[in-house]
Amino acid sequence: MVKLGVKVKDFAESVKEAGSYVIKNVKTKEQTRFGIANILTVSNSKGDGSVFVQHSDEPSSRTNLGRLVKAFGDDTDRWVGKKIEVTIDDDGKRRIDPVR
């Protein structure tokens, strides 16, 4: 019998509502069906959710990752407990802005 050698991962459901959230956890450089992403587990008064942030080694300051790194630094352990504002446009694209 051949073993698959895979790990099944469960993440909180994607954030579907705009609003303020607190970062609870960050999983870095996770392979997703869309490429490499950093996955933020976030919470607010309505519960937990996840936000996928596309990874890049050199993000632009106009990207979600660039804004987060610029505000919170590149040590994702320090992102835990920080607040973000999520907005969702008509196409369902999420914009993440750090709250300072």
Specify the DSSP element, H or E, that contains 98: strand 94-99
> What confidence category does residue 61 fall into, taking pLDDT thresholds of 50, 70 and 90?
very high
11-59 tens-digit pLDDT: 778 888 999 999 999 999 988 888 899 999 999 998 899 999 999 999 9
∠ CA(38), CA(94), CA(8), 5° rounding?
40
Measured CA to CA, the distance from residue 14 to residue 21 in angstroms comes to 13
CATH fold of the domain at 19-99: OB fold (Dihydrolipoamide Acetyltransferase, E2P) (2.40.50)
| 47-54: strand order across its sheet | 47-54, 35-44, 19-32, 83-88, 94-99
> What confidence category does residue 96 fall into, taking pLDDT thresholds of 50, 70 and 90?
very high
Task: Check pLDDT > 80 for residue 9.
Answer: no
Between residues 3 and 95, the one the model is more confident about? 95
Query: What pTM was computed for the model?
Result: 0.85
Specify the DSSP element, H or E, that contains 36: strand 35-44
